[in-house]
């Protein structure tokens, strides 16, 4: 699981670097290059569709592991040290790095991206600055809420729901879980924006939060992953086909 999480993070480095050549985000990405390729969009958005859900699923899996090993209090203490503390320390540094790099790029880059041109215009006509955001650390900010909600939900009787899901068949699960994601997906535009606002985004709870809960359930349910091994190739083909239709 640690290796899988590391691969998801490395895929994020590839994703953000490749966006410089993305036609879809050319007008929204500060480092957008004059050269673009539709092939970049085909590849990076396919990986991005499962990269962040996978990350939150793994996060939920490890939270369940910590609850079993150290109890709910031990889990909260561990997550505070591993998630909340890094967020508090590195968010100001991340903000400084982003602002400093943008100002440097605006002053030195000759062929400016559309976003840089907007920044130049905004600097020439200063107004009310946009509210601060969690930037690329939004996933840590969301995980803090998910961990706290895990602690809150311990006081809810989930036995009836757990008993139902423990008996669910793979086919029924594959029919139900995507439907649970629909309300969140309908509430935002595609491709999914980063829920980086400090005001919690409810759609993020209904999308990434469900994958977090799924990861928690996967740890708590024996042989859950084994039930889907025979469907793996079919799901891969269906996912790729649906992505082509969607794109």
Distance CA 227, CA 81 (A): 35
Of 83 and 192, the one with more pLDDT: 83
pLDDT in tens, 91-136: 999 999 998 998 888 888 888 888 888 888 888 887 777 888 999 8
* Mean predicted confidence (pLDDT) in 20-24: 90
> What are the pLDDT digits (tens) for 80-91?
999 999 999 999
* Better-scored residue on pLDDT, 27 or 75: 75
Answer yes or no: is pLDDT of 207 > 80. Answer: yes
What pLDDT score does 48 carry? 85
Q: What is the pLDDT of residue 177?
A: 92
Q: Is the pTM of this model over 0.85?
A: yes
């Amino acid at each position: 699981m640690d290796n899988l999480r590391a691969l998801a993070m490395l895929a994020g480095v590839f994703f953000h670097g490749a966006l410089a050549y993305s036609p879809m985000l050319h007008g929204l990405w500060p480092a957008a290059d004059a050269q673009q390729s539709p092939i970049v969009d085909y590849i990076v958005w396919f990986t991005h569709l499962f990269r962040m859900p996978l990350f939150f699923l793994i996060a939920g899996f490890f939270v369940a592991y910590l609850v079993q090993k150290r109890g709910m209090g031990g889990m909260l203490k561990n997550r505070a040290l591993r998630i909340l503390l890094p967020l508090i320390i590195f968010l100001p540094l991340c903000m400084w790095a982003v602002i400093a790099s943008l100002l440097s790029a605006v002053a030195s880059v000759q062929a400016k991206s559309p976003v840089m041109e907007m920044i130049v215009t905004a600097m020439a006509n200063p107004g009310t600055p946009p509210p601060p955001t969690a930037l690329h650390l939004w996933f840590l900010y969301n995980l803090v809420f998910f961990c706290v909600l895990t602690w809150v939900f311990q006081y809810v009787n989930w036995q009836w729901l757990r008993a139902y899901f423990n008996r669910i068949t793979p086919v029924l699960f594959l029919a139900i879980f995507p439907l649970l994601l629909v309300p969140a997906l309908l509430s935002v535009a595609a491709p999914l924006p980063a829920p980086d606002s400090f005001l919690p985004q409810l759609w993020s709870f209904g999308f990434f939060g469900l994958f977090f809960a799924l990861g928690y359930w996967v740890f708590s349910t024996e042989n859950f992953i084994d039930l889907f091994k025979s469907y793996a190739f079919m799901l891969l083909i269906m996912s790729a086909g649906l992505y082509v239709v969607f794109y």
